[in-house]
Amino acid sequence: MTVTWRRSMAAVAVAGAMTAGCASTPPMVQPVTDVPTAPSSDAPAEPTSVDDESSEGAGSQASETAGGAGQVAELVTPAADFDPCSVLSAADVSEAIGIDVPQGESHEVMGTYQCRFTDSEDSGVSVQWVPFAGGFDGALTVLENTFDITGDVEPVDIAGAGDAVRVPIAFGPAIGEVVYARVQGGYFQVMTLTETGPTDAVPVTTLTLERVP
């Protein structure tokens, strides 16, 4: 499972990072470790569009459903260089998903910040902060090209977030989900993946937003 986790963590990192540094979505996602930092934006995020009926795939599903997620008066506002590892411990994440994970490791990928809680067996979690104000539809499109999408994109209510959706995924023998939560100046991308059964990424996302300084 170690190789699967390395590949999947790198892939989901790039899925988020591509929207921070690129105007268009590439057809393929390759695992990335050391790459130049892309410029980011601190401008407030615009609500995800729900009017584009011509788009297809997971990205278009997000456009249709994200507007129904919990809208709040005040969005969480992370710093552009916020590192999720600074507020999450292994004990926090283990309790949230019900599976023991090791201490998180911080990775900077193309101007985004990802904390990976992975082990050598069959479980893991990644929490990524993407300081890109344009929304997460592009990341969803890259996600669809990287993982198997196993169900519908569904809106979720997360305190401190505007639009938020969950996406069920599979990667080889592992199954899990990715949650995208739009906040001020960008969005969070939280993935859980395990061979032992589905896990809920919403509690980790909620905990992360609660702890943003």
What are the tens digits of pLDDT across the range 82-136?
A: 999 999 999 999 999 988 899 999 999 888 899 999 875 556 899 999 998 888 8
What are the tens digits of pLDDT across the range 67-92?
A: 444 443 489 999 999 999 999 999 99
pLDDT at 12: 57
Q: How confident is the model at residue 54 (pLDDT cuts 50, 70, 90)?
A: very low
* Proportion of the chain in helix, strand, coil states, percent, rounded to 5: 30, 25, 45
Three-state DSSP class for residue 3 = helix
Residue 128: closest CA among 109, 103, 102, 149: 109
pLDDT at 46: 45
**Residues 74, 111: Cα–Cα separation, whole Å:** 25
Backbone angles phi, psi at 84, to 5 degrees: -55, -25
Q: How confident is the model at residue 27 (pLDDT cuts 50, 70, 90)?
A: very low
pLDDT at 85: 97
When mean pLDDT is compared over 6-10, 41-45, 119-123, the highest value belongs to: 119-123
Averaged pLDDT for residues 54-71 = 40
pLDDT at 99: 86
Buried b (16+ CB within 10 A) or exposed e, 168-194: bbbbeebbbbbbbbbbbbbbbbbbbbb
Cα-atom radius of gyration of the chain, to the nearest Å?
15
What are the tens digits of pLDDT across the range 172-193?
A: 888 999 999 999 999 999 999 8
Averaged pLDDT for residues 9-27 = 47
What are the tens digits of pLDDT across the range 128-172?
A: 999 988 888 888 888 888 889 999 999 999 999 999 999 999 988
Is 0.85 surpassed by the pTM of this model? no
pLDDT at 105: 94
What percent of the chain has a predicted confidence (pLDDT) above 90? 44
Residue 57 host element (H or E): helix 57-65
Beta strands in 10-157 (DSSP E): 105-109, 112-118, 123-130, 148-149, 154-155
**Residues 148, 192: Cα–Cα separation, whole Å:** 14
Averaged pLDDT for residues 39-53 = 42
* Distance between first and last Cα of the chain: 34
Give the pair of three-digit tokens for residue 74: 């005040």
pLDDT at 209: 97
**Residues 33, 83: Cα–Cα separation, whole Å:** 17
Query: Residue 81's CB: how many other CB atoms inside 10 A?
Result: 12
